[in-house]
Amino acid sequence: MEDFNIMIGILQLLAGVGIFLTGCDIMSSNLEAASSDKLKGLLSKVSNNKIVGVLIGAAATIAIQSSSATTVMAIGFVNARIISLLQGATIIFGGEIGTTITGQLVALGMLGSSEVSMNVIFSALAGLGAFVAMFAKRENVKLTGNVMTGLGLLFAGLDTMSGAMSGFAQYPQLKDFIATLNSSLLLIIIGAILTAIIQSSSAMTSISITMVAAGLINISQGIYLTLGANVGTCLTGMLAGAKAESVNAKRTSLIQLIFNIGGVVLVYLSDLLLTLFSGGRISYGILFARMFPGVPHTQLAMFHTIFNIASVVIVLPFTDRLVALTERLIEDKLNDNSIEHFYYVNENMISTPSVAVEQIKQEIVNMSNIAIQNFNISVDMIKTLNFDREEDFGRNERELNFLNENLVDLVLKIAQSGKVNKKDLSYLSTTYRAISDLERIGDYAENICGYAHNLADNESPLAPKLLAEMEAMRQLINKLYLLVLESYKDGKKKLSKDIKGLEANIDALSSHMVNIYITRLNQNELTGTSGTDYLKFYNDTERIGDHLINLIDRDYILSH
């Protein structure tokens, strides 16, 4: 019968862990969706001020309830060269402080009498939130309901785990076995392994707090399991760093590893010394038990908070040296500019879709810069018949093709993550057309480059008057581009009078050049070969203008 009860307890524990992790995921994803605009605003304020970086990292982690997501986000930003290695390090430090909020919530939930704990009261939020989300018409209200549901499930999971562990505590043999696990190093390893498996240091810390509250383990064992969780959480960052393309992103993940392991080693050694010199009368477990008597769950939660804050305070002044150390450990490699890659986004950012959406926009803006750069290079070629920049042109064209083929796939993965709010989802739905339009601009620039080669091969350069007209067309396209880019960045998706005027001027100039084509042939200003390329140039530049307009023409986007 005892074995049967233990088996039931194990199943109850697994159910509690599952409910807890599901609640964390629901709360985290909906908090992120609800706070996406604020999160983007926060990240835009990252500076070289270390304290500001820590505060932003802490705020971001509190907002999305995941230090692992904050770490991956920081590594992604460093990889995309949006922030420096130093800034990425301070954001990670802040994330370690922000993650302590979950432990404090768990400890809070365990307050109350034995009959009615705060866990039970908070668990009711799951049902209340579900009703709110079910009947809400506005998205922000629905998101709020989902956050309440996630928070309620988190506490429901804790209550289920607590019940299972309280049951385990009734078996002396089980308690005696767990009591034998008094090796601090072994407990750190167990905490690290379990955290790596469940991919959440917050969950492991919460489980440890629940075990301490149930009397299954003592405060000292809980402390070392929590320290192990700080080591285990580095796995996510290391995986993100391994996938990253830039050396600095790999260094960022190494900084997190050194920071977390360094803090754990410091506590481990200092606790050994305290125990040794006091004859076992003083240890961190004893100190926190005295500081918060009678509330073991609060003792462990406060240790976790104080330990993480103290680690940041100690390390922050030496961040520059830590950065320098990682630069020596991971040396720079020659950057091969011939390899196509994303500039502002990567797959690691899928875990934080609200940030990824903003970086997708930056990637498309950068793609437009590459496309218009190739247009200008091609016009220079046809005007001068000089092909010195053909290598640059080819590299840009390969990059455009890479973005066209791979950026859409990344957009789909972000859209299918289930964590994107309606506003961002609406924007993502327009990106396929934008990417396609920009790739087409690159194709037309490639056509113009080909016309330049034809003119050079046939030794038939265009007359200065014709070149001046081509330059006028180029200037119109560039002016249109700048106006469209400004509108695209602002998300206005609307054609202004200036944009419509430039579009009309481009169309008029193109029509005029086509209309006087025969006259110029009769006046020997054009030959049959140069005349064909001359006509195609104006046709292609007019099409380039159309593709630029498509980027912000809402009616065009919606109709396609």
Q: Which range has the worst mean pLDDT, 34-48, 98-112, 128-142, 253-267?
A: 34-48
Reduce the DSSP state of residue 494 to 3 states and report it.
coil
CA distances to 133, 197, 470, 518, 533 from 526, rounded to whole Å, are: 69, 72, 14, 9, 10
Confidence of residue 449 (pLDDT cuts 50, 70, 90): very high
Where do the H-state alpha helices sit in 385-496? 390-415, 422-457, 464-490
Residue 351 has pLDDT above 60, yes or no: yes
- For residues 367-387, give the mean pLDDT: 94
Q: Is the pLDDT of residue 349 over 80?
A: no
Given a contact cutoff of 8 angstroms between Cβ atoms, the answer to whether 109 and 158 are in contact is yes
Pick from 9-23, 42-56, 258-272: least confident: 42-56
Cα gap 359→425, rounded to integer Å: 14
The answer to whether residue 20 scores a pLDDT higher than 50 is yes
The band of 176, judged by pLDDT with boundaries at 50, 70 and 90, is: low
Residue 114 clears pLDDT 70, i.e. is over it: no
pLDDT for the residue numbered 559: 46
- CA 505 from centroid of its chain's CA atoms: 42
Query: Is the model more confident about 528 or about 299?
Result: 299
Average pLDDT over residues 68-74: 76
DSSP 63-100: HHT-HHHHHHHHHHHHHTTSS-HHHHHHHHHHHHHHTH
> Per-residue pLDDT for 444 more than 90?
yes
**In a 3-state reduction of DSSP, which class is residue 112?**
strand
Cα gap 243→257, rounded to integer Å: 16
Domain ranges of the chain: 2-329, 351-559
Q: What is the pTM of this model?
A: 0.69
- The residues, ordered by sequence, that sit 6+ positions from 308 with a Cβ below 8 Å of its Cβ are 96, 97, 99, 100, 230, 263
Q: To the nearest whole number, what is the mean pLDDT of the chain?
A: 83
Model confidence at 554: pLDDT above 60: no
How far is 121 from 131, CA to CA, in rounded Å? 17
Choice between 34 and 328, residue whose per-residue pLDDT is larger = 328
Superfamily (CATH H level) for 351-559: Phosphate transport system protein phou homolog 2; domain 2 (1.20.58.220)
How far is the first Cα of the chain from the last one, in angstroms, to the nearest whole number? Answer: 67
Contact 276, 257 (CB under 8 A): no
Question: Burial code of 301-319, b = ≥16 C-beta within 10 A, e = fewer?
Answer: bbbbbebbeebbeebbeeb
| Residue 286 tokens, joined | 């004893």
At residue 543 the predicted structure's pLDDT band, cuts being 50, 70 and 90, is very high
pLDDT of residue 333: 61
pLDDT surpasses 70 at 245? no
pLDDT at 474: 93
Distance CA 75, CA 315 (A): 19
pLDDT at 293 over 70: yes
Task: Output the pLDDT for position 558.
Answer: 44
Q: Over 70: is that where the pLDDT of 519 sits?
A: yes
pLDDT of 23 higher than 90: no
**Per-residue model confidence (pLDDT) at position 447:** 94
Handedness of CA 215, 218, 223, 227 (dihedral sign): negative
Q: How far apart are CA 412 and CA 345, in angstroms?
A: 14
Q: Rounded to whole angstroms, how far apart are CA atoms 311 and 427?
A: 41
What number of other Cβ atoms are within 10 A of residue 58's Cβ? 25
Query: Which of 19-33, 35-49, 416-430, 500-514 shows the lowest mean pLDDT across its residues?
Result: 35-49
Q: Report which of 310, 333, 196, 201 is spatially closest to residue 263, judged by C-alpha positions.
A: 310
What tokens were used for 261?
A: 């392991």
> Which pLDDT score, from 0 to 100, does residue 390 have?
92
pLDDT of residue 33: 67
pLDDT top residue among 63 and 384: 384
